[in-house]
Structure 1
Amino acid sequence: MLVQDYTSPGCFDESLIEEGGARPASEALVAYVSPMDIKDVQALQKLADATIARMGVSFTVYSDQGNIDRAWPFDIWPRTIEASEWRQVEKGLAQRLKALNCFIDDVYNERAIFKAGIVPDEVVYSSRNFRPECVGMKPKHQAWANICGTDLVRDASGRFFVLEDNLRVPSGVSYMLENRAVMKQVVPELFENLHIQPIGDYSNRLLSMLSSMSPNEVAVPEVVVLTPGIYNSAYYEHAFLAHEMGAELVEGGDLLVGEDDYVYMRNIEGLKRVDVIYRRIDDEFIDPEAFRDDSTLGVPGLMRAWRAGNVAIANAPGCGVADDKVVYAYVPDMIRFYLNEEPLVSNVPTYLCSREDERAYVLANIEKLVVKPANESGGYGMLVGPHATAEQHHEFRGLIANNPRNYIAQPTLSLSTVPSLCGDAIEPRHVDLRPFILQGANTYVTPGGLTRVAMVKGSLVVNSSQGGGSKDTWIVDTEVDDVI
């Protein structure tokens, strides 16, 4: 049997159990691969790689050697999750984004959570993502973060935890969709025989959500995707989503704000009014009048048009105030405060280095912990204590001492694993999961999400920019009876 000697000691494996059997959601998959040998799996992987190359799926890695476009890294063995388990996670993710949007709205308006003593106001006002320019704004449906990519992990018991929330310009959803397209071409028979929840309607749901945010009374709102351009690492995704939605892909120079404070798009027919902008540019670059005056990526006057209520911007400027790893620690309290509910999906236990007692614990136990800066992404600027050197431990103790507000620490979890093709063998590799949540007039959670996998043995770093790969994620309903 292909996986007869497969083990993942000390970790929860998503597909296989220690006794050599399969978890319920993986039973059909394991039965499918059982008659195969490693060459058969390698042949499927080659077919998947060729499909990715033909489709032109790529991403950009920034390095000292320059910007390198690479084919999207993909592993043929999918991650499977039981649908009955996912339903609870789905509810928890919708709950979480609702509370986060309540918090952002509160921060820029009533500030009730500060007055109640739930979140210290200095935590927010010291965040580099707090935007005074947004005070008093009230986006439609109280939705500031319209698209959220929440990173989930499992611990050794198999329990899901939220690792972090990505609320500014979360990326990766196009790769989730392309992973599914690849698998459907490589193993179509599995999709015929399994009840795998579909994800192909994401682009339609995204367009519907964006349209629901339009401040203008029009039958069909004009939605555009604002990209920084072809040199951005996520440009493939920007172009993909614009194409899938039937929306225009624009750069800052394609838009202008008129004297009437409406946003217009330049085209061959002249000017066309824009109702909704799905922006993929960070706050500080979107409007040189309001933020960085040296930005050539944004649209002069865009914030003026937004504040006038003439255009919707998704995600709204200022929503990054909740996309802070220090603020993350307070999300369970936000859920209780705004929704009067208990969190359905828990945070990873988190130590705030701004608190003297917790900082002392982190400094004394840094070899055991993962230390993260408050606002970095992509796995940069962090320390994985058990895998770091004594010199790195010393360096981070200094960084924490110099700027304690900027650091949190968490225990090193034994992230779950999924069987992966590693050369001439199937071996366990650690994974996380990024589902995508949409909030406008309604809320939608993708069935599954983007599974990112650390392809280096023993590594916990799953980011593609640092050598990670990806897998298709199957939410499998094993309780549905086949109709004959």
Structure 2
Amino acid sequence: MLNDNATSIFDEMHSADGQIRPAYQTLANWLTQKRTHELIALNQKALALFYRKGVSFTVYGESQQTERIIPFDIIPRIIASREWNMLQNGCTQRIRALNAFLYDIYHKRDIIRANLIPEAVVLQNPCYQPWMMNLDLPTAIYAHVSGIDLIRDNDGEYYVLEDNLRTPSGVSYMIEGRLISQRLLGDTLDKNKVLPVDNYPSLLKSCLVENSQIDDPFIVVLTPGRYNSAYYEHTFLAREMGVPLVHGYDLYVENNGVYLRTTSGPKRVDIIYRRIDDDFLDPLVMNPNSVLGVPGLMAAYRSGQVIIANAPGTGVADDKSIYPYVNEMIKFYLGEQPILHNVPTWLCRDKADLDYVLAHLDTLVVKEAQGSGGYGMLIGPKSSKAEIAAYRARILADPAAFIAQPTLALSTCPTCTEEGIAPRHIDLRPFVLSSPDKIRLSAGGLTRVALRDGSLVVNSSQGGGVKDTWVTQENSANSVGQGE
């Protein structure tokens, strides 16, 4: 059961009686040999390595957009193989259902006809793209690349906090973090027999190829440019996959084909791994003021001349107002019981839910249904009366734009601070790659950590950092978590 009682917060490294959990034993032995100043020095080395490589992100909403180096904590988060197998199965099940939902709502809409999800929640969703109706893609996959955000409750049970199906980011931090662990904790990492994550770019490329149904497709990564918060990741993935990183002005459409301008002449593009939002893809049919996309791109897409990953219109499935229905999707499309469960959620579009939320704003977390990055949230227990009153006015102005959840007691993991090793709240984002015949997960994914004492917000834009995530492969003969 979810519980926000701080005295019962789940500790990833220690059991309730203070004993070291088996998966952490080797790491605990290493930590006993390190003094605080040595750990701080290792963290400083990690920061220097990130700085040299330019591993950064951009913070929006300040007087000027600020580029920052992502904070890295040297103490890893460890997941035992049996636990990882369950998470892998749960994320796989969830993405299968979400892709089935996307196919359905752009075709027969069976789940709406079955009255399992209100029609208005889907068709009036800002991310729903009517022009995707009855468009048959080469495969029935809409969300090729996904990120599932997971948290643990006080009993150690995992819950899905949200689904990320548009342009999920963080894999570059996952891989770069592992390189730091190999450099600074090599012996300890080897002793734990940790599953690799550096094969993610090759798995991503395989996923894109398999979804194209073309033997040797030409792939590009489409970026909005260096001012995007995840620009480092765009360059990283393009480089690691060995494909061009392009801007909208590098591409053009002719006879419904998409072409890349090169010094040797036009090059036909088969797959676009896009890292820009739907609204900016094509100024002819979406935002007419966009200079980031490609005029005519949607005509080429509808004619089947190019693959876009993730598919336009995918965002409707990760909207926070859709999230409460995912368990029903799993039952409806797969005929299975959910392996991973949702956090209880109140939809402010519903009168009863709205009344409850307004009466309990001081105890709840309220989020924008279209929000991301930790922006635009109200954390009731940590907000002033004036902040709550201002947020109440925002909700009343547009109730359908907000959802609310309990204030969660995210699990904690030992983290290096200036005062020594201390618990800090964490979450987990496994990355899921979906193809017609297989679904692959990165081994563990990205652990985000709230570096501020007592903070529950792990987003890097809100002062959070990252940890390496170690999935041990001991006793895991059947636990291939990163594909073939």
Q: Counterparts of 1:296-311 in structure 2 under 5 Å?
A: 296-311=291-306
Partner of 1:356: 351
Secondary structure of 1:325 counterpart: coil
Q: Does 1:44 align with 2:42?
A: yes
Match of 2:237 in 1: 241
CA distance in 1 between partners of 2:40 and 2:360 (Å): 43
Distance 1:256-1:480 versus aligned 2 partners, 3 A rule? closer
Partner Cα distance (2:399, 2:337) in 1: 29
1:65 alignment partner in structure 2: 63
* Structure 2 Cα separation of the partners of residues 140 and 474 of structure 1: 36
Does residue 135 of the first structure (1) align with residue 130 of the second (2)? no
Residue 227 of structure 2 is aligned to residue 223 of structure 1:
no
Q: Which moved more, 1:35-44 or 1:91-100?
A: 35-44
For the pair 1:467 / 2:459, whether they are aligned, the reply is no
- Structure 2 residue runs of 5 or longer lacking an equivalent are 1-5, 478-484
Aligned-pair distance for 1:63? 4.1
Matched, 1:438 2:442: no
- Alpha carbons of 1:480 and 1:432: their partners in 2 closer, same or farther (altered >3 Å)? closer
Distance 2:86 2:303 in 1: 39
2:480 is matched with none
Question: Aligned partner of 1:75: which letter?
Answer: D
Q: Confirm whether residue 326 of structure 1 aligns to residue 321 of structure 2.
A: yes
Structural mapping, 1:217-296, within 5 Å: 217=214, 219-259=215-255, 261-296=256-291
1:59 CA drift (Å): 1.5
| Structure 1 length-normalised TM | 0.95
Aligned partners of 2:10 and 2:411 also within 8 Å: yes
What amino acid sits opposite 2:385 in the alignment? A
Query: 1:380-395 residue pairs with structure 2 within 5 A?
Result: 380-395=375-390
Deviation, structure 1 residue 233:
1.2
- For residue 14 of structure 1, give the secondary structure of its aligned residue in structure 2: coil
Residue 139 (structure 1) shift: 2.1
CA distance in 2, matches of 1:71, 1:285: 27
Contact 1:25 1:477 (8 Å CA) reproduced: no
Task: After TM superposition, give the deviation of residue 288 of structure 1 in Å.
Answer: 0.7
Q: Distance in 1 between matches of 2:143 and 2:36?
A: 44
The code of the aligned residue for 2:364 comes to: L
The alignment partner of 2:413 has SS state of strand
Return the offset for 1:18: 4.3
Aligned mates of 2:200, 2:291 — CA distance in 1:
31
Following superposition, the deviation at residue 463 of structure 1 comes to 0.7
Q: Is the 8 A contact 1:104 1:322 kept in 2?
A: yes
CA distance in 1, matches of 2:109, 2:474: 46
Instruction: Provide the rounded CA distance (Å) in 1 between the counterparts of 2:153 and 2:345.
Output: 15
Is the 8 Å Cα contact of residues 54 and 232 (structure 2) preserved in structure 1?
A: no
Q: Who is 1:345 aligned against?
A: 340
Q: Check the 8 A contact 2:40/2:417 in 1, yes or no.
A: no
Q: Secondary structure at the match of 1:459?
A: coil
Structure 2 Cα separation of the partners of residues 120 and 63 of structure 1: 34
Distance 2:329 2:391 in 1: 30
- How far apart are residue 230 of structure 1 and its match? 1.2
Q: 1:480 to 1:436 in 2, by over 3 A?
A: closer
* In structure 2, distance between residues paired with 1:269 and 1:262: 18
Shift of 1:60: 1.6
Which amino acid letter does the alignment assign opposite residue 227 of structure 1?
T
SS at match of 1:26: helix
Q: What is the CA distance between 1:476 and its match in structure 2?
A: 1.6
What RMSD over aligned residues (CA atoms) do the two structures have, in Å?
Answer: 1.4
In structure 2, what residue type is equivalent to 1:361? Y
Tell me the TM-score normalized by structure 2.
Answer: 0.95
Give the direction of change, closer, same or farther, for the CA distance of 1:122–1:272 in structure 2 (3 Å limit): same
Report the AA paired with residue 60 of structure 1: T
Deviation at 1:162, TM superposition (A): 0.3
1:106-145 → structure 2 map (5 Å cutoff): 106-145=104-143
- Structure 1: gaps spanning 5 or more residues: 1-7
Instruction: Look up the equivalent residue of 1:117 and give its one-letter code.
Output: N
Q: Which runs of 4+ in 1 moved over 6 A?
A: none
In structure 2, the residue matched to 1:476 is 472
Matched positions, count: 471
Q: Distance in 1 between matches of 2:14 and 2:298?
A: 51
* Match in the other structure for 2:28: 30
CA contact (8 A) 1:238 1:280 kept: yes
Give the residue type in structure 1 aligned to 2:419.
Answer: D
Query: How far does residue 67 in structure 1 lie from its aligned partner after superposition?
Result: 1.9
Work out whether residues 351 and 408 of structure 1, in 8 Å CA contact, stay in contact via their aligned partners in 2: yes
Following TM superposition, by how much is the alpha carbon of 1:116 offset from its aligned partner in structure 2, in angstroms? 0.5
Q: Distance in 2 between matches of 1:404 and 1:66?
A: 31
Q: Which amino acid aligns with 1:479?
A: N
Contact 2:225 2:247 survives alignment (8 Å): yes
Partner of 1:425: 420
Q: Distance in 2 between matches of 1:69 and 1:405?
A: 33
Asked if structure 2 preserves the Cα contact closer than 8 Å seen for 1:195 and 1:480, the reply is no
Contact 1:81 1:476 in 2 (8 A): yes
In structure 2, the residue corresponding to 1:77 is in which secondary structure? strand
Task: Name the counterpart of 2:201.
Answer: 203
